[in-house]
Amino acid sequence: MTGRWGRSRTGAALAAVALALAGGGLGCSDDDSADTTGAGPTTTESAGDAEELTGSYVGTLDGTETYVAIVVADDGDALAFVTDGDQSVDLLDGFVDGEGARLGNDGGADLKLSFVEGATSDDPSRPVVLSGTFTRPDEAPLRFSAGAAEEPAGLYRASQVFADGEYEADWVVLPDGSQKGAVRRYETPLPPGAVDTVLDLGDLGDPDDPGSSEALSVEVPGGILHPIYVDPARL
């Protein structure tokens, strides 16, 4: 699966998403209704507002080796990263509320959210699971499911300018420690094997020795990148 890198959209794009939600949300067309078939039980109880959904979510695209991470802030701002750890790389942003949302980027990728399970006032202990579809231009939609995650699972990011250019990198880490990441220079993914993209998470998340994501480092041709865990509270 070949990927397209697109810089995340802000400003007018976020306003457009907000207007779409205010006008009835997603799922208004026959095509959208078809998208949700087989996605699992969807109820108004499972939606909740943006504050209730604040957190990190990680998972995979069905039938692929591609990972997805979604981070939702308490004001509804959302960031997502989708990658196969090779040339398939997409960073998307948008706005989330209890009706769902679409996140996108300038490359034309689209991530549609619906909430199939989650904490309710009757049972706040239920884990939140986001599901939906991810689509690139001229490609068929792929379903995904992403469950609530706690550090060290989640999204990691790094951005730094060196003498040879601007580098950006992102990683998705699953609860079992599996990870996929990609490093880009001037928005172009570096060839596979050009750098070691494996994060040494060590004891991150260990209550006896939690460590710090600020200690992470990845060597690239221009210097050393220092990935940071994307905290929903600071998105």
What pLDDT score does 213 carry?
Answer: 53
Residue 40 has pLDDT above 50, yes or no: no
HEC string of 36-100? CCCCCCCCHHHCCCHHHHCEEEEEEECCCCCEEEEEECCCCEEEEEEECCCCCEEEEEEECECCE
- Is the four-CA dihedral 154, 134, 79, 129 of positive or negative sign? negative
d(CA 203, CA 41): 36
d(CA 32, CA 100): 12
What is each CA distance from 58 to 21, 130, 161, 191, 215, in whole angstroms? 24, 9, 28, 25, 22
Of 216, 221, 222, nearest to 198 by C-alpha is 216
Q: Which residue has the tokens 């990691």?
A: 156
What's the mean per-residue pLDDT of the chain? 76
d(CA 82, CA 3): 10
d(CA 55, CA 16): 23
Which residues are CB-contacts of 59 (< 8 A; sequence separation ≥ 6)? 67, 68, 130, 144, 145, 146, 147, 174
Partners of residue 167 on adjacent β-strands: 160, 185
Residue 133 has pLDDT above 90, yes or no: yes
What pLDDT score does 24 carry?
Answer: 30
Tokens of 1: 């699966």
Residue 87 has pLDDT above 60, yes or no: yes
| pLDDT tens-digit map of 168-217 | 999 999 999 999 999 999 988 888 788 998 898 875 544 454 444 556 88
pLDDT tier for residue 12 given thresholds of 50, 70 and 90: very low
d(CA 60, CA 146): 7
Residue 59 has pLDDT above 60, yes or no: yes
| pLDDT tens-digit map of 151-162 | 999 999 999 999
By CB atoms closer than 10 A (0-12, 13-18, 19+), residue 16 is middle
The model scores a pTM over 0.85: no
Could you tell me the domains of the chain?
Answer: 12-149 (2.40.160), 154-230 (no CATH)
What pLDDT score does 187 carry?
Answer: 85
